[in-house]
Amino acid sequence: MTTTTKAQEATHATTPVSVPLSVITTCYGRNRHLYNLLGSLEQGSVKPAEVIIVNDDAEPERLAAYDLNIIKIATTTATENGLAISASFDIGRNRNLGAARGTYDAMIFLDVDCIVAPTFIEQLYSKLQARPNALLMGQPRYLTRPLTDNEGRQLQQGKLATDFLDKLSVFNPYRDNFDLQHQGTSIKQTQDYGAFWSLCFAIMHSQFEQIGGFDTDYVGYGAEDTDFAFMARALNIDFYLTDDVIYHQQHSVHRPPLNHLDSIVINANRFYEKWQHWPMSGWLAEFSQLQLINWRDEQTVPIAINRQPSEVEIRAAHYPDAPYV
């Protein structure tokens, strides 16, 4: 489990070079995941020139231990009676803040629960350089359990083999997945912009600005990344899937996400008003079956919430060990 591959040994024989790239992530209350992400970035075949962490509550001394150029951005937006007022965690807004702070045109956005494969940054950066006008998304694999403290230490020391992470992870069968036999070389253009997920993607700053960043009228959970991709489609920005792997760190989920009912309904209505298309249709159908909402795919009026789910229903939908929603 702790042995590295020959390719990894060769990679770590010399200090990884830095590439002119901004990696942007958002974090609050997820420091265990954050440290694993930073450890994987530190041990990659190349390092990003900067790592921007937005809404981060991690310990400064812990961050200083990583051989990375880490920039922290607080999301405090105002003061009252001399005291700072912190904004609520808003992933779209925070990604926009990170992009605005970035030094480099090339940007890779990573959710805090990502662990990057050793060549992820190098390969995805190279593909972005070859297609600077495009939107590129990497290939997620989903860990089936959280890493232990010891495994986290091994990851940060470059001693956790990718073979181990491959065996500990699975693909999401409902997504388009690559055959990873020739990992790092595959890329394919797709017209299915609904397949975009902001977990791990690359884009040039100029294209990000052309899209307008993430629409901050979306609140909480759901649809902001699909909206981002639909804006890219409307602007004729090509969309590519790549086989560059990140490992999604396991955490509990709700199936369906009853704990996010309010924000999903708000965001679905916002999305339909903007695009005349219902997002998250699978979840909306499940909510409708539970009579939480009245919804049909062909309807043109906003969704209204009939009732809130009970605590019993929310507990029944909770899957603490599921690798993906």
User: What is the rounded CA–CA span in Å between residue 315 and residue 286?
Assistant: 16
Going by pLDDT thresholds of 50, 70 and 90, the confidence category of residue 220 is confident
| Gap between the Cα atoms of 204 and 242, Å rounded | 16
With 90 as the cut, is the pLDDT of residue 230 above it? Answer: yes
- What is the per-residue burial (b if ≥16 Cβ within 10 Å, else e) of 79-114? eeeeeeeeeeebbbbbbbbbbeebeebbbbbbbbbb
Query: What pLDDT sits at residue 1?
Result: 38
Residue 241 has pLDDT above 50, yes or no: yes
pLDDT value for 183: 62
270 or 219, which is more confident: 270
* CA–CA gap between residue 91 and residue 88 (Å, rounded): 10
Task: Determine the pLDDT at residue 6.
Answer: 44
137 close to 196: Cβ distance less than 8 angstroms: yes
- Other C-beta atoms closer than 10 Å to the C-beta of 9 total 11
Strands 239-248 and 318-319, sheet pairing? unpaired
Q: What is the mean pLDDT of the chain?
A: 89
Q: How many angstroms separate the Cα of 250 from the Cα of each of 114, 192, 306?
A: 10, 26, 32
pLDDT over threshold 80, residue 3: no
What is the share, in percent, of the chain residues with pLDDT greater than 90? Answer: 75
Query: For strand 169-170 and strand 318-319, is the pairing parallel, antiparallel, or unpaired?
Result: unpaired
User: What pLDDT band is residue 257 in, cutting at 50, 70 and 90?
Assistant: very high
Report the interhelical angle of 261-275 vs 224-234 (nearest 10°).
10
User: Do 239 and 189 contact (CB within 8 A), yes or no?
Assistant: yes
What is the average per-residue pLDDT within 200-205? 98
* Residue 278 clears pLDDT 60, i.e. is over it: yes
The candidate with the shortest Cα–Cα distance to 245, out of 155, 151, 195, 179, is: 179
Query: Which pLDDT belongs to residue 104?
Result: 98
The predicted-structure confidence for 106-149, as pLDDT tens digits, reads as follows 999 999 999 999 999 999 999 999 999 999 999 999 999 999 99
In the DSSP assignment, the letter for residue 305 is B
Q: What would the mean pLDDT of 283-288 be, rounded to a whole number?
A: 97
Distance of CA 19 to the CA centre of its chain: 21
Residue 166: which of 73, 245, 255 has the closest Cα? 245
Give the distance between the most distant pair of CA atoms in the chain.
61
Return the top range by mean pLDDT from 71-80, 212-221, 306-315.
Answer: 306-315
Q: What is each CA distance from 212 to 89, 93, 190, 231, in whole angstroms? A: 20, 11, 22, 8
Give yes or no for residue 11 having a pLDDT over 80: no
Residue 16 per-residue DSSP state: P
Instruction: Tell the burial category of 323 from Cβ atoms under 10 Å away from its Cβ (0-12, 13-18, 19+).
Output: buried
CA 17/CA 46 separation, integer angstroms: 5
Looking at this protein, which amino acid is placed at residue 222? Answer: G
What is the pairing mode between strands 106-110 and 17-26? parallel
Instruction: List, in order of start, the domains of the chain with CATH numbers.
Output: 6-251 (3.90.550.10), 258-319 (no CATH)
pLDDT at 285 over 90: yes
